[in-house]
Amino acid sequence: MTDALGPELLLELPGWGSRGRALEEALRSAIRGGRLVAGTRLPSSRDLASQLGLSRGTVTQAYEQLVAEGWLTARQGSGTRVAAGTAEAPVRSGRSAGSAEAASGRFDLRPGRPDAYAFPREAWARAMRHVLREAPTEVFGFGDPRGRIELRTALASYLGRTRGVRVDPANLIVCSGYTQALGLLAEVFTELGVRTAGMEDPAIGDHVRLLAGRLRVAAVPVDAAGLRVDALRDSGAEVAVCTPAHQFPLGVSMAPERRSELLEWADDNLGWIVEDDYDGEFRYDRHPIAALQSRRPSRIVYAGSTSKTIGPAVRLGWIACPPLLLEPLTEAKRRARETRPLEQLALARMIELGDYDRHLRTMRRGYQRRRDTLVAAVRSGLPDVRVRGIDAGLHALLELPSAPSERAVVEAARAASVDVHPLGEYMRGDRDRHPPSLVVGYATPPAHSYPAALDALIRGLRRL
């Protein structure tokens, strides 16, 4: 029993080493195993010292060490708490960028994820309060399967202003994220008699599998200029699914001549192009590149979502569809899961008030600082490693030409408690055309643990 006034904490200290080291390891073990979850407030140093029969200085030093390592956070008035993203979870196979699996390491540097800590809580709350107070009664019933006209109107203006997209609000379909958009397109293309879709190689596995459920999917290689249109022609594909602005995961931007070749392919073959503009808002060292859709609205389906800009919790996406696809896509959306109308109105409100633009400017500056920190750390600690695809987006490609294998690279990172994705995880064709590489996301770790995450990654890779 104890007279401590703060929360009690049951810890079994290992019998080896100093008492301070034993306390550090006991706390790490409790956090790693999930017994102390993110946000848990720990006893004060005085209280824990009393509970465990240790000196207060020993506890203070242990707390300070774990704060420095990113296991704990300490803020004035909030006490010492378990940091976010520290518990381990089982490793699952078949991972893809943006999937819901938990990180297996202490530091999460997986790609395809934004900074959840930067969710615009205040702006979103203001918008939702306004919507709940002012929304017409019809919002709470069944509506237009294309989505709320308020959001479609706001999106048509916003996309035209920032991405060069040419679309009338009537030709916009609001959906529940890009995955639903791709599923609707696969359904419609099948109904129209399309048999083969060409997808970039490498690409996100979940997207490939989604299309493969209805169509034959041809792997079309990507080189330094983007999707190889010659290979697309040879594949016999009638649809091309691509990421022209910032290819995932290689990070290349489709070259102007390659863009023209792709448009010629669409014109010559009456083919469809699905343009996935998954992170078009985040560019750093270059002028914005207009969406390819602006050059051929009649043949290009433009798709985007809020998963990178606001966060995956807001399940909103959109399809700017050519007139010939509007009716079948609208019917497919009518049969699919409805997209939440209140969230649609909240996003429309944020766009109209300028809150969405302000949020994006803030995020762009923050992500650029993170990218610069990553590049500097790699160049200083791993001079033989090449960093690719950093002009835009939320991830970088680290090429390790002297590494024995990609598996060795991944194991070295995981041994340092860093969760990353190997490039090979996204490859479907010849894997030897790229050196061992890691796809490193720099948006996910909370700000307080980002430097420690990079340090751990550098230390792990240097062991190779």
For helices 450-462 and 355-381, give the axis angle rounded to 10 degrees. 30
What pLDDT score does 95 carry? 44
Q: How confident is the model at residue 266 (pLDDT cuts 50, 70, 90)?
A: very high
Q: How confident is the model at residue 169 (pLDDT cuts 50, 70, 90)?
A: very high
C-alpha dist (Å) from residue 195 to 169, 214, 240, 266: 30, 8, 12, 16
Instruction: Provide mean pLDDT across the span 31-45.
Output: 87
Single-letter residue type at 25: E
- With contact defined as beta carbons under 8 Å apart, do 315 and 177 qualify? yes
Coil, helix or strand at residue 312: coil
What pLDDT score does 3 carry? 42
Between CA 58 and CA 23 the distance in angstroms is 9
> For the segment 231-262, what is each residue's pLDDT rounded down to a tens digit?
999 999 999 999 999 999 999 999 999 999 99
Taking all residues of the chain, what is their mean pLDDT, rounded to a whole number?
Answer: 90
Q: What is the domain partition of the chain in residue ranges?
A: 19-82, 107-119+358-462, 121-354
What pLDDT score does 2 carry? 40
Coil, helix or strand at residue 297: coil
Coil, helix or strand at residue 99: coil
Measured at the CA of 320, the angle between CA 319 and CA 325, to 5 degrees, comes to 90
What pLDDT score does 159 carry? 95
Question: 173 exposed, middle or buried (CB, 10 Å; 0-12, 13-18, 19+)?
Answer: buried
3-state DSSP: the chain helix, strand, coil percent, rounded to 5? 45, 15, 40
Residue 378 scores a pLDDT above 80: yes
How many residues in the chain? 464
- With contact defined as beta carbons under 8 Å apart, do 458 and 378 qualify? yes
Residue 183 scores a pLDDT above 80: yes
Between CA 387 and CA 433 the distance in angstroms is 17
For helices 341-353 and 121-134, give the axis angle rounded to 10 degrees. 120
> How distant is the alpha carbon of residue 46 from its chain centre?
41
Instruction: Provide mean pLDDT across the span 100-105.
Output: 55
Residue 268 scores a pLDDT above 90: yes
Kindly report the backbone phi and psi dihedral angles of residue 71, in degrees, each rounded to the nearest multiple of 5, phi listed first.
-75, -35
Reading the block at residue 254, the tokens are 């489709």
Name the residue with higher pLDDT: 97 or 60: 60
> Which of 203, 173, 200, 201 has its CA nearest to residue 185?
173
> For the segment 46-63, what is each residue's pLDDT rounded down to a tens digit?
999 888 889 999 999 889
Which neighbouring-strand residues pair with 438? Answer: 398, 422
> Which of 438, 375, 446 has its CA nearest to residue 111?
438
What percent of the chain has a predicted confidence (pLDDT) above 70? 93
Between CA 99 and CA 365 the distance in angstroms is 25
What pLDDT score does 309 carry? 94
> For the segment 273-300, what is each residue's pLDDT rounded down to a tens digit?
999 998 888 988 877 788 999 999 999 9
Rg (CA), the chain: 25
For helices 406-415 and 450-462, give the axis angle rounded to 10 degrees. 130
> For the segment 407-420, what is each residue's pLDDT rounded down to a tens digit?
999 999 999 999 99
Other beta carbons less than 10 A from residue 326's beta carbon: 17
- Window from 124-133, 232-241, 443-452 with minimum mean pLDDT: 443-452
Residue with tokens 């493969």: 212
Topology at the third CATH level for domain 107-119+358-462: Aspartate Aminotransferase, domain 1 (3.90.1150)
What pLDDT score does 100 carry? 46
Between CA 89 and CA 197 the distance in angstroms is 35
Between CA 283 and CA 392 the distance in angstroms is 4
What pLDDT score does 353 carry? 96
What pLDDT score does 97 carry? 59
CATH number corresponding to 121-354: 3.40.640.10
Topology at the third CATH level for domain 19-82: Arc Repressor Mutant, subunit A (1.10.10)
Please tell me if the domain spanning 107-119+358-462 has the same topology as the one spanning 121-354: no
Question: β-strand 421-422 against 437-441: which pairing, if any?
Answer: antiparallel
What pLDDT score does 19 carry? 83
Instruction: Provide mean pLDDT across the span 286-315.
Output: 92
Instruction: Provide mean pLDDT across the span 425-431.
Output: 86
- Ramachandran category for residue 226: left, alpha or beta (phi over 0 → left; psi -120 to 50 → alpha): left
E strand or H helix at 80: strand 79-82
> For the segment 190-244, what is each residue's pLDDT rounded down to a tens digit?
999 999 999 999 999 999 999 999 999 999 999 999 999 999 999 999 999 999 9
